[in-house]
Structure formats: C-alpha cells, structure tokens
Structure 1
Amino acid sequence: MPTEIDTLTALDRALADRASLAGLRLQDLDLRAREEQLLALDDFEGLVVLGGELSPRLEHHLRLGRAIIFPTGPRCPVDPYRARLYTPHELYEGLDREGYAATPDSRAYRWSLDTATRHDAFVSLLRAIHDDSIGDALDELVAGRRVVGVMGGHAVERGSQQYAAAARLGHALAEADLLVATGGGPGAMEAANLGAYCRTHDRLDAALAALAAVPSFLPDVGAWAAVALDVRDEIVRDGGPARSVGVPTWFYGHEPPNVFGDGIAKFFSNALREDGLLARCNAGVVVLPGAAGTVQEIFQATTRLYYGVGVNLAPLVLVGRDHWSSAIPVWPTLEALGAQREMAQVVHLVDSLDEAVQLLTA
C-alpha cells in the first residue's frame, strides 16, 4: 500500500530504513534539503512526488530513475499538494498591504471561476488533488475526536444577540470536549468557531465587543477580516487539542472564511465539502436559523439518518421552533420522514441553545 510522506522527518526514516523509495508518495516537501541522499539512489520506480521544491538537477535524476513528478500550475494561487489545513494568516496573506483582492483566498476564488481554465484537464486535476489533500488533513485533525457540527446562516451580524448566542453555544460545546465543526464562513458559523476558540468567558466577551466594530463582511471584506485577525492574535492559547475547525468552500466566493478555527479546511468542490463536513460530525449536528444553504445541510444530514438503520445515529437538533416550523417549514417534512423509522428518536426541535447543548453532550 502506498505510504504518504509529508514531513522531512518521515522521509529521513524512510531513507534510513530502505534501499528503495518505491511506493512512497512525497507530498509538499522541500527536497532540496535532502538532495545528496536522493542523488545517491538510482531506482525510483513507483515513487510519486507531489509538488514541493526540488532543484533541476534532482528533478532530472528522479525522472531518470522513473519517478513520477506532479508539478504545480504556474497560475495556481494555492498549493494543491499541501499536507496541512490552512491557517487564517495563510489565506489572508497580504491583506494589510494590498487589500483582500490580493490575498490567496480571493485569488483562489477568481482562479476557480476563470473561464480560460475551467475546462482545462490539468487545472481540474490540480483542484481534485487539492481537495483530496485537504480531506486527508481534515481526517488527521478529527481523528479520535467527538465532532459536533454547528450549521447556521452567514447573514447573522456581529454585535447581535443571535451572534453572541451562537458564540456561547460553540464555547459550551468545546468545553464539553467536543470538536466544533462549522461551514467556516461568516455569521453564525464564525460565532460558533469564535466561541470554541476562546477558552474563557471573559476572553469571549472581549472578543465579541471588539468584533462588533465591523458587523458584517459586506461591503468591506478587508475590514471584517482585519479586525478578526487582530482579535485572534490577542487570544493567548496554551496549546492542547484543537477546539474547532472551519470547512468553507470557494464555491461560495462571496462568503470569506472566518479566522477562528484551529484549522481551515477550504475546498474547491462544495459537494465534497458539505458531504465531508457532515460525515465527520460523529457526535451530532445543531442547526441554527438559516436559509437555503442551511436547509440543504439539514436534508443531507437527514438522508444519513433516514437510511442509517441498525447503526448508532448521532442527534440532529434544530434550534428555533417558529423558524423551522413556520418561516421555513422544514420540521413537518422531517416528522413525516421520521415516522416509523429510527431517525425519529434522534431528530429534535428546540427553542433554546441550552436544550441543544444538553442533547449533544448527554
């Protein structure tokens, strides 16, 4: 079975333990630091090099030894072979100097829409490899953790009661040793990530007050992101396990990623992103009031529950009785689907976030 190597330490072990690198996948490594060791070998059949850095001399040597080397497109604004989730400062690099349009996040969205490359097989390959790499990195973050999803609308503004409530929900879930996973965007998603990121109520209160100065990402994403990055940098973390993750997508280019996840798993494919997010929520999903995107997530989660006969079903908790019964009448449909099925035992409609926390932490 192929073995992925994504650190130089792991590569050193492989070089010490074997005479051949056949079957290895070297992912996003600076091979210039190990050039002499690699030049001493001559059989690379079955070795795949995914991106990274290597000199022309080493690249020629590897190809002579029948290695397969995947290059990065010169116009690709992100590394498709990356082995780790994004950090906020990576996605917003250059924000303070040149504005949001110059950041990797904004450039990646424009690249995803570029009609000149939309039907380019190589570009499609790079996007697919990128999303697979991000999925692997997300699996590493959530491994062994109880993950709870928090879904909700992007339009909830900082400074509002709804925003503060979502933040306190995220904090309560993280304090119960749950890893909080959201769609990674603004609004209720940002609030839940923020609440989980803050380890104390005092720190959360201070963050909420500071963020209220820029209530929305509209019309100025730059100002919205800048104040959030400042707030994040002021939050002192003492290590420990991750408390939250954001899983956004460039498909919704108008929604910038929030900065409060311990990692950001951003995908080009919204289908992979949504299915992957829900599939990893093994401790349940809580859904705050939202619109079309949130409704789509509800029914994706419901499909898993509907067909999940004979397995441990994680709870699905909708918050806002009037919203989900009348304004957007999803609840009657869920009741009809759940009739005479096991999912009826784990689908809940509540009015308070305290009820939601109790159901998800029981």
Structure 2
Amino acid sequence: MSNPEGRTPKEQHLGPVIRRGARVQPGTTDQRLLDTKGPTEWVHTDPWRVLRIQSEFIEGFGTLAELPPAISVFGSARTPEGTPEYEAGVAIGKALVEAGFGVITGGGPGAMQAANQGATEAKGISVGLGIELPFEQGLNPYVDLGLNFRYFFVRKTMFVKYARGFVVLPGGLGTLDELFEALTLVQTRKVTRFPIVLFGSEYWGGLVDWLRHTVIAQGKASHADLLLFHVTDDVEEAISLVSKETGH
C-alpha cells in the first residue's frame, strides 16, 4: 500500500493494534516494559492505583476465602495490657474459638491483640487485617494469618465479607468508623443482617443515650435502629448473641 507520494508508510504491530506513519511508537512493548531507565510517573497515576486496589481485593479474597465462620472483633489499639478491658478481649477471643468461630481483628496492639491472643491460646484461627499507617508498628505477635492493606475500603470489605458478626470493644475513631459502617450496611440491607455486640455498657452507654435521645428523638433515625445492636458486659452473653443470630 502506497501513500500519495508513492512511498510505503512505516507500519507497526503492537498486539492487536496497528500503527502507521506518525502514529508509530519507538521501540517494542517488551522493550518499554524491561527498560529500567524509562519514566516512572506512571506509578502515581490513577489507572495504576486501580490495579493496586484490584490486587488487594484479589489477595484478600484468595487468602480468606476458605476461612471457617468467623467474628470480627474491634477495639482500641491503645488498650493497655493487663487491664480489665484487655483481659475481657482475651476472654472474648477464647470464647469465640470455643464456640467454633475464627477471630478477625485489625491486627494491631491493644484490644485487637487481646482478641488475637485469646484465639491463639485457645488454638483457634487468629486473623489480622492490618493497614498501612505512618504510626502503626505492624501486626501483633498473636496473628497467625495476616494481611496488610494500603486502602481502608478494601480492608473494610474483608471485615464484613468474611465475618458473621461483630463484637466491638471500647475504642476510638477507627472503632467508631467500623461500628457505624457496619450499622449502616445492616440498616440499608446492603448486607444480610448479622449481630453487632457492643461490649462494655459504661463505655457505650453515652453513645446509646445520644442515639436514643438526640438522633432518634429528632427523627434522624428510627427506634427500630436500636435493635441493630446489643450492649452487654458479659462475655458469655456476647458469644451467645453472635451464636444465636448467626445460627452457629
């Protein structure tokens, strides 16, 4: 095939793509892949981030797909070891394993470590789903199956997808974030209802009162929303609630 001047244009085949004339690119696809001196701006582009996000979902789904029934336990990373609150976390982790559940936490220290410790001491499955943060020190030593995530929303998906219920120990903003995300998903029926147990009535009482006397009283939520969760101070009751509502 000739161009108007009678010269054969340059032609390039790149997989299924054919480029001719001014559209021809220098080098080959393999050459650009293997060229270590090429530009690196592409690793900061949104298309590349999409691939990273996709890879995190694939790793999470692939690693956790064969977990037995499990409960996600949330709580503060700042809970000191040896305190009654920490020991309650250990007891909950043990009791969940004894009831036939695996234990999933955020993998950090404090209340998360307590639940993982209890699960490990009961010789159960102890999972930690960590997150890349500037001030975190990695997974606690009681995690026997761990994943570290770059993106919060991928991690949150794993907490919900592979848990049959939540037990929420006293915690800060991260714990509140997980709690209200779970409540919202259940309220809007984005997930099949599963039990949410708040452990520690003294700690959670003020929040429950605010929901009842402010949020619901002003019509921002309904009285039925108070039925989306339970509050208890008893380890056996917490385990009984998650077992009963999951049919486990």
Going from structure 1 to structure 2, the CA distance change for 1:159 and 1:285 (only over 3 Å counts) comes to same
1:126-275 pair list within 5 angstroms:
127-142=52-67, 145-199=68-122, 243-251=125-133, 253-275=135-157
Rounded to whole Å, the distance in 2 between the matches of 1:331 and 1:275 is 29
Rounded to whole Å, the distance in 2 between the matches of 1:139 and 1:271 is 16
Name the counterpart of 2:211.
Answer: 333
When normalised by structure 2's length, the TM-score is: 0.71
1:1-362 pair list within 5 angstroms:
119-120=44-45, 124=49, 127-142=52-67, 145-199=68-122, 243-251=125-133, 253-282=135-164, 284-308=165-189, 312-326=192-206, 329-330=207-208, 332-333=210-211, 336=216, 337-340=221-224, 344-362=226-244
Q: What displacement does 1:259 show?
A: 2.5
Rounded to whole Å, the distance in 2 between the matches of 1:117 and 1:157 is 43
Rounded to whole Å, the distance in 1 between the matches of 2:51 and 2:185 is 30
For the aligned residues, what is the CA RMSD?
3.3
Structure 1: 5+ residue stretches without partners: 1-44, 46-65, 75-115, 200-236
Contact 1:174 1:180 in 2 (8 A): yes
Contact 1:173 1:180 in 2 (8 A): yes
Structure 2 counterpart SS, 1:141? coil
Going from structure 1 to structure 2, the CA distance change for 1:147 and 1:123 (only over 3 Å counts) comes to same
Q: Which amino acid aligns with 1:325?
A: G
Rounded to whole Å, the distance in 2 between the matches of 1:315 and 1:286 is 8
When normalised by structure 1's length, the TM-score is: 0.50
Q: Which has the larger radius of gyration?
A: 2
How many residue pairs match? The answer is: 206
Contact 2:108 2:139 in 1 (8 A): yes
Q: Which amino acid aligns with 1:150?
A: V
Rounded to whole Å, the distance in 2 between the matches of 1:184 and 1:168 is 17
Rounded to whole Å, the distance in 1 between the matches of 2:209 and 2:62 is 35
Rounded to whole Å, the distance in 1 between the matches of 2:146 and 2:114 is 15
Going from structure 1 to structure 2, the CA distance change for 1:125 and 1:164 (only over 3 Å counts) comes to same
Structure 1 counterpart SS, 2:73? strand
Rounded to whole Å, the distance in 2 between the matches of 1:250 and 1:294 is 16
Going from structure 1 to structure 2, the CA distance change for 1:330 and 1:266 (only over 3 Å counts) comes to farther
Contact 2:53 2:154 in 1 (8 A): no
Q: Which amino acid aligns with 2:230?
A: H
Structure 2: 5+ residue stretches without partners: 1-14, 16-28
Contact 1:248 1:267 in 2 (8 A): yes
Stretches of 4+ moved more than 4 A in 1? 120-123
Going from structure 1 to structure 2, the CA distance change for 1:330 and 1:255 (only over 3 Å counts) comes to farther
Q: Which amino acid aligns with 2:66?
A: L
**Residues 319-346 of structure 1, C-alpha deviation per residue, up to 9 Å, x if partnerless?**
12221122xx255327833524xx5444
**Residues 240-290 of structure 1, C-alpha deviation per residue, up to 9 Å, x if partnerless?**
xx62211111136424211322310211101211232123222x1110001
Rounded to whole Å, the distance in 2 between the matches of 1:253 and 1:158 is 19
Q: Which amino acid aligns with 1:286?
A: V
